[in-house]
Amino acid sequence: MVDSYVFLEKLYDLIYNLLEFRDKVRDEGKELIPLKTGTPLIKYSFISMLKGGVIMDVTTTEQAGIAEDSGAVGVMVLDKLPYDVRMAGGVARTADLNVITQVMESVTIPVSAKCRIGHSWEARLLEEVGVDLIDESEVLTPVDEKAHK
């Protein structure tokens, strides 16, 4: 069991170093080849890296920066924070794609976003903008309350 944690720590360090290298290359004005898919091993390892860390809910780039500086392992970009959802009568939607993109450009930690269960086009849009993790969530409000009972 301990060996798996050591492995995950080393994997985390490697990915962090790769992200730093990516940022350095971008700062030099060079282009990297974008990766659109990963193997199942990479995808499962990515999720394992987030274990034991905090994924902070954010709605702005400022909040995402604070989360990253505070040691969060990732951020979940939301349309509204849970308190604001309650104040809005319980209505929650997928975050604005422009906000998600701005957050992705402002931090080096993984960025997640939510879409409604069964709404594959929302998930595809999130995939297209390049979020690291898509959470198909039951907490987002259905568009048509009568048809979703």
Catalytic hit among 10, 24, 114, 146: 114
Cα gap 143→59, rounded to integer Å: 21
Is 24 designated active site? no
Cα gap 95→131, rounded to integer Å: 12
Residue 57's nearest CA partner among 114, 115, 141, 15 is 114
Contact criterion met (CB below 8 Å) for 116 and 136: yes
3-state secondary structure of 50: helix
Contact partners, residue 66, CB within 8 Å, separation at least 6: none
Q: Which residues are catalytic?
A: 114
